């Protein structure tokens, strides 16, 4: 193992295995010296007859050739190393066979068979390796696609959400406060001239101020429901269930609290589902099941209504689905005509410390 | 005085109408979008002043502003008072790029100071110019930050304060009261401002707002982005 140093970075096209390289250089020098000496001896003894040093050169070249091939085969990154080694050794063997064939006087065409014997498994190896790597690459490409889409979805949802909040504030609480100020200003200006109008104006100002407060509360519930912060997902969903016009049966429980963004996404998805139950399903009862297992938070909302719900058809589910997607969550809707409708959402997440 | 109100939020539209009627204005049309406004401006002539919201349907961005600019293009000199729940220098510049006579731009909050507001409506209707104190303040403090180049840089701190109040449309007496100085002192400051800004001495209140607007328009033509 210590015969060579592992390259610092796999696949780095530098000069790995420095000790092997030194050994190879030494071997090359030794071989050239030995072969050269023998060739010189053959020449000095008259250089007649068969050029027998060719076989010596061949014998000296084989180990150098193979070592070089193996080193070349070890260069590529780990993922392709086995294949490269196979390629280089097969190639080196074929070249060696061809050399023997040539030295032997090119009799017949016997090397075709062993070379074919080497080529077939190599081709098979290439085919297998390509299949495997492309499956892996496809997997990664799909993941990148999903991440790109869900990230864009999350940003779109966030921007739309901010715009909605701004609009709600502008048309709601802010406008009402302007109106309150207007009524009070008018009352002030009429103080001396038409005091009889004051009580009406003041009552109106007060009720508009209360309406502004109401607007703010509704808006806050839409951003981060206080009950979600106080009681966690389970409590908040119970609170939601109580507010719905149809009776809702709750089952299951959570052994801890999911991360805040997941809680919020799931909460709003459940809220959307319940809103759909009331608005579209005509159901007389609904149920919610909440559980956690094997790193997966799953919530199911069902009703006994008329069914026939489709994700795109104004159910508002598309938005919450996109929100779930950014946590790698999924939402499944089954709603045959005639009912019942069941929405299942699953989000992979960790739960923080159990409730105390 | 015949008034047209264009405001998409019924709550504020009704409030405005009632407030103006209580102060002897004749509200001849209450409309909720730019198309209705255009129609009202044709049907209800003569219109003395239009009071409108910046944000209107269909996109609820600055249709009101665009409508105001268009209305003034169709009927040059039509007095328009633009109200908004927030003010931007940029909008003030766009509104006033084709002339400053009979133009007003106020935060909706100002409506609650009913007498001042009613006075502002009257001044705009009479061809005057009214700018919201917030715009004026932003303008002056921006100028302070950017250094003392230009005519406004020649003003003393006291004179800038007087000019800010002038630009809001306050009378000499009101300026004197809010700065706790005598009317005579205010006169002195104002004359000094006019001299420094190379403006002719004039009894017209509107002249004074022009001092600020001259700077506004200079910045517009020089292409400075509105910054606050």
Report the sign of the C-alpha dihedral through residues A127, A133, A139, A144, in that order: negative
Interchain CB distance below 8 Å, B22 and A183: no
- Integer angstrom CA distances of residue A293 from A125, A228, A330, A350: 41, 21, 16, 10
Chain A CB within 8 Å of residue B12 CB: yes
pLDDT range class, residue B149, cuts 50, 70, 90: low
pLDDT range class, residue B26, cuts 50, 70, 90: very high
* Residue B188 pLDDT greater than 90, yes or no: no
Chain B CB within 8 Å of residue A183 CB: yes
- Its pTM stands at 0.61
pLDDT values of chain A reduced to their tens digit, one per residue, 356 residues: 344 444 444 444 445 567 778 888 888 898 899 888 888 888 888 777 777 788 888 888 888 888 888 888 888 777 778 888 889 999 999 998 898 888 888 888 888 899 999 999 999 988 888 777 777 788 888 888 888 888 888 888 888 888 888 888 888 898 999 999 999 999 998 888 888 889 999 999 999 999 999 889 888 888 888 888 888 899 999 988 888 888 899 998 888 899 988 998 899 899 988 888 888 888 888 999 999 988 999 999 998 888 887 776 665 777 778 888 888 888 888 888 887 889 999 999 988 876 54
Interchain CB distance below 8 Å, A182 and B112: yes
- Integer angstrom CA distances of residue A345 from A286, A323, A327, A333, B182: 16, 12, 12, 9, 73
d(CA B62, CA B58): 10
Interchain CB distance below 8 Å, B112 and A181: yes
The whole-chain average pLDDT of chain B stands at 79
Task: Sort out which chain A residues have CB atoms less than 8 A from B117's CB and list them.
Answer: 185
Task: Sort out which chain A residues have CB atoms less than 8 A from B109's CB and list them.
Answer: 178, 181
Asked if A311 and A318 touch (Cβ cutoff 8 Å), the reply is yes
Chain A CB within 8 Å of residue B21 CB: no
Q: Is B29 left (phi over 0), alpha (psi -120 to 50) or beta?
A: beta
Interchain CB distance below 8 Å, A182 and B55: no
* Residue B50 pLDDT greater than 90, yes or no: yes
Chain B CB within 8 Å of residue A214 CB: no
* Residue B152 pLDDT greater than 70, yes or no: no
Please tell me whether the interface predicted TM-score (ipTM) of this complex is above 0.85.
Answer: no
d(CA A248, CA A230): 21
Lowest-confidence region among A215-229, B120-134, B213-227: B213-227
Q: Which of A165, A167, A176, A178 to mutate to test the interface with B (most CBs of B within 10 A)?
A: A178
Interchain CB distance below 8 Å, B111 and A167: no
Report which DSSP code applies to B225.
P
Cis status of the peptide bond prior to B82, with omega within 30 of 0: no
Burial of B213 (0-12, 13-18, 19+ CB in 10 A): buried
Give the DSSP H/E element, type plus range, for residue A193: none
Chain A CB within 8 Å of residue B38 CB: no
The minimum CA-CA distance between B63 and chain A, rounded to whole Å, is 15
Interchain CB distance below 8 Å, B117 and A178: no
Chain A CB within 8 Å of residue B59 CB: no
Supply the pLDDT for residue A3: 42
Interchain CB distance below 8 Å, B108 and A178: yes
d(CA A266, CA A324): 7
Asked if A289 and A251 touch (Cβ cutoff 8 Å), the reply is yes
Asked if B89 and B227 touch (Cβ cutoff 8 Å), the reply is yes
Q: What angle do CA B1, B130, B13 make, to 5 degrees?
A: 55
Q: Nearest CB to A186: which of B9, B60, B114?
A: B114
- Counting DSSP H helices and E strands in chain B, the numbers are 10, 6
Q: Nearest CB to B112: which of A184, A190, A194?
A: A184
Interchain CB distance below 8 Å, B15 and A189: no
Interchain CB distance below 8 Å, A179 and B12: yes
* Residue B111 pLDDT greater than 80, yes or no: yes
Looking at chain B, how many residues does it have? 228
Lowest-confidence region among A116-120, A247-251, B97-101, B128-132: B97-101
Residue A12: count other Cβ atoms within 10 Å of its Cβ.
Answer: 11
Q: Nearest CB to A186: which of B22, B55, B60?
A: B22
The minimum CA-CA distance between B156 and chain A, rounded to whole Å, is 35
Burial of B181 (0-12, 13-18, 19+ CB in 10 A): middle
d(CA A54, CA A38): 10
Asked if B85 and B112 touch (Cβ cutoff 8 Å), the reply is no
pLDDT range class, residue B138, cuts 50, 70, 90: confident
């Amino acid at each position: 193992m210590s015969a060579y140093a592992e390259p610092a970075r796999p696949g780095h096209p530098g000069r790995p295995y420095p000790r092997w390289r030194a050994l190879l250089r030494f071997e090359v020098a030794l071989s050239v010296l030995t072969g050269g000496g023998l060739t010189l001896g053959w020449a000095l003894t008259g250089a007649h007859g068969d050029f027998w040093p060719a076989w010596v050169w061949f014998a000296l070249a084989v180990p150098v050739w193979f070592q070089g091939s193996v080193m070349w085969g070890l260069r590529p990154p780990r993922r392709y190393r086995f294949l490269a080694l196979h390629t280089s050794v097969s190639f080196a063997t074929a070249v060696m066979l061809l050399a023997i064939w040539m030295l032997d006087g090119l009799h017949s065409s016997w090397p075709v068979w062993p070379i074919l014997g080497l080529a077939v498994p190599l081709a098979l190896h290439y085919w297998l390796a390509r299949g495997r790597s492309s499956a892996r690459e496809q997997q990664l490409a799909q993941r990148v696609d999903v991440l790109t889409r869900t990230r864009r979805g999350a940003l779109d949802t966030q921007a739309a959400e901010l715009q909605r909040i701004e609009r709600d504030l502008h048309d709601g609480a802010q406008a009402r406060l302007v109106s309150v100020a207007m009524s009070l200003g008018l009352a002030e200006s009429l103080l001396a001239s038409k005091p009889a109008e004051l009580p009406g104006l003041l009552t109106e100002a007060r009720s508009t101020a209360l309406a502004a407060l109401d607007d703010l509360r509704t808006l806050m519930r839409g951003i981060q429901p206080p009950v979600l912060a106080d009681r966690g997902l389970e409590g908040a969903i119970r609170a939601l269930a109580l507010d719905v016009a149809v009776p809702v049966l709750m089952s299951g429980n959570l052994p801890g609290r999911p991360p805040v963004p997941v809680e919020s996404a799931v909460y709003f998805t459940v809220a959307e589902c319940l809103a759909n139950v009331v608005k579209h399903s005509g159901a007389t009862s609904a149920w919610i099941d909440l559980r956690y297992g094997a790193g997966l938070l799953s919530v199911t909302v069902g009703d006994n209504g008329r069914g026939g719900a489709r994700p795109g058809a104004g159910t508002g589910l598309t938005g919450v689905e996109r929100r779930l997607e950014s946590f790698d969550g999924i939402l499944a809707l089954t709603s045959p005509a005639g009912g019942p409708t069941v929405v299942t959402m699953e989000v992979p997440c960790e739960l923080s410390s159990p409730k105390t | 005085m015949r008034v047209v109100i264009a405001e998409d939020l019924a709550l504020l539209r009704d409030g405005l109408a009632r407030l103006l009627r209580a102060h002897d204005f004749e509200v001849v049309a209450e409309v909720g979008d730019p198309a209705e406004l255009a129609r009202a401006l044709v049907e209800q002539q003569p219109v003395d002043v239009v009071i409108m919201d910046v944000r209107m349907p269909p996109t609820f961005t600055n249709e009101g502003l665009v409508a105001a600019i268009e209305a003034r293009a169709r009927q040059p000199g039509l007095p328009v008072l633009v109200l908004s729940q927030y003010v931007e220098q940029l909008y003030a510049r766009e509104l006033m790029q084709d002339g400053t006579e009979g133009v007003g731009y106020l935060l909706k909050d100002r409506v609650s100071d009913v007498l001042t507001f009613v006075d502002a409506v009257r001044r705009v209707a009479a061809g005057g110019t009214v700018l919201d104190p917030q715009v004026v303040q932003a303008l002056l403090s921006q100028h302070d930050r950017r250094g003392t180049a230009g005519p406004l840089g020649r003003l003393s701190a006291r004179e800038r304060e007087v000019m800010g109040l002038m630009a809001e449309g306050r009378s000499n007496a009101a300026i004197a009261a809010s700065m706790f100085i005598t009317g005579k002192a205010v006169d002195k400051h104002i004359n000094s401002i006019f001299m420094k800004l190379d403006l002719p001495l004039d009894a017209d209140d509107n002249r004074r707002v022009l001092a600020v607007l001259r700077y506004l328009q200079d910045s517009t033509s020089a292409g400075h982005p509105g910054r606050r």
